[in-house]
Amino acid sequence: MESTIWTEKYRPKSFSEVKGQKEIVRRVKAFVEQKNMPHLMFAGPAGVGKSTLSLVIARNLFKDSWHQNFMELNASDERGIDVIRNKVKDFARTRAIGDVPFKVIFLDECDALTREAQQSLRRTMENYTSTCRFILSCNYSSKIIDPIQSRCAVFRFKPLGKKEIFAIIEKIERDENLKINDKAKEALFIISQGDARKLENILQSSAAIEDNITEDTIYSMAAVAKPKEVDEVLKLAIENKFIEARTKLLDVMLNYGLSGTDIIKQVQQEILNLEIGHKNQMLLMEKCGEIEFRLTEGSDEFIQLEALLSQFCLYGKN
């Protein structure tokens, strides 16, 4: 097996390879074909193709000279005003090499830029429009100041659907000579939650252990409990078997190496599968939120999880 990181190895090189963002790709491709585009802002969750699409734009716009005409900065590492004043301005003020009239600067995770850096960026975007275009990538567009948002065409990315996730899995399965059964594919879809980067990392870790990948392998590598095991804990609790539920919960946490915050997210997902009535489901959702807040504030996780199980026992009895 090649010694490569799969998130880079399987990164799309053309527009046709970008999964799950068909409408966005269609519009962006039209900009590239005309060799004219506005400043762009890509907003959405992690691992859905924002950085990949930016690189595809550069490759298709500039062809062989894309390295000379494209600059990528990760704003989470370099997020101060000096970066905007120096690195960005120096690159933006020079003309592009080739027949495209502008360069491209890609600012990844730009919602991590300080307020002052964003104000400086706003002015830079105005002054160098003739020689440079900006692509801004962020998880939360609300953290970007309005003057920058109004200068950009905003595209909102969505998590990849089941069809796209399965297509990626099947491509890796073919290329790497793996065997991935249907239950393992379902587990990968549930765990990745539409994040292709997370999917590929889990798959590579699993493939390092064995070529025949099963559901058990996926859950153990992802450090996520099987949904049916969490469901068993909750069903014991609503049947007023508190001691058994607590013992089972501790076993699950120890077997998978889960923290209290990890397990409570899975508990919240399984509540809607319990047959306790809609009202009780909503009340338990509220309790999950309360316990999760206490955990983030530093409370003892085992005491808080026992308190949560006790609520399941009470609502189950009622």
Domain CATH number, residue 201: 1.10.8.60
CA 132 – CA 90 distance, rounded (Å): 11
CA 116 – CA 265 distance, rounded (Å): 36
pLDDT digit string (tens) for 180-196?
A: 999 999 999 999 989 99
**Same-domain pairing of 141 and 183:** no
Higher pLDDT, 318 or 287: 287
Domain count, the chain: 3
> pLDDT confidence of 277, banded at 50, 70, 90?
confident
Percentage of the chain lying above the pLDDT 70 cut: 96
What pLDDT is stored for residue 158 in this prediction? Answer: 93
Of 43-47, 84-88, 252-256, 281-285, which gets the smallest average pLDDT? Answer: 84-88
What pLDDT is stored for residue 64 in this prediction? Answer: 87
Residue 140, domain member (yes or no): yes
Residue 99, domain member (yes or no): yes
CA 217 – CA 210 distance, rounded (Å): 9
CA 176 – CA 171 distance, rounded (Å): 9
Residue 113, domain member (yes or no): yes
> What is the number of alpha carbons within 13 Å of residue 185 lying toward its C-beta?
18
Of 103-107, 222-226, 291-295, 314-318, which gets the smallest average pLDDT? Answer: 314-318
CA 224 – CA 262 distance, rounded (Å): 8
pTM summary value = 0.82
Range of the domain at 207: 162-222
What pLDDT is stored for residue 78 in this prediction? Answer: 63
Residue 103 parent element (H or E) = strand 103-108
CATH number at residue 232: 1.20.272.10
Q: What are phi and psi of 288, to 5 degrees?
A: -60, -45
pLDDT for 318 beyond 80: no
**What angle, 0 to 180 degrees and rounded to 10, lies between the N-to-C axes of helices 162-175 and 182-192?**
120
What pLDDT is stored for residue 7 in this prediction? Answer: 84
What pLDDT is stored for residue 202 in this prediction? Answer: 92
pLDDT for 80 beyond 70: no
**Same-domain pairing of 173 and 215:** yes
Residue 12, domain member (yes or no): no
pLDDT for 306 beyond 80: yes
Give me the mean pLDDT over the 36-41 stretch. Answer: 92
pLDDT for 79 beyond 80: no
pLDDT for 162 beyond 80: yes
Pairing between β-strand 212-213 and β-strand 179-180 as defined by DSSP bridges: parallel
pLDDT for 26 beyond 60: yes
Residue 255, domain member (yes or no): yes
What pLDDT is stored for residue 1 in this prediction? Answer: 44
Of 24-28, 123-127, 171-175, 244-248, which gets the smallest average pLDDT? Answer: 123-127
Residue 5, domain member (yes or no): no
CA 259 – CA 179 distance, rounded (Å): 31
Residue 134 parent element (H or E) = strand 132-138
**Same-domain pairing of 115 and 50:** yes
> How wide is the angle at C-alpha 109 spanned by C-alphas 107 and 112, nearest 5°?
110
What pLDDT is stored for residue 317 in this prediction? Answer: 56
Final residue in a domain of this structure, among 156, 181, 203: 156
Higher pLDDT, 126 or 288: 288
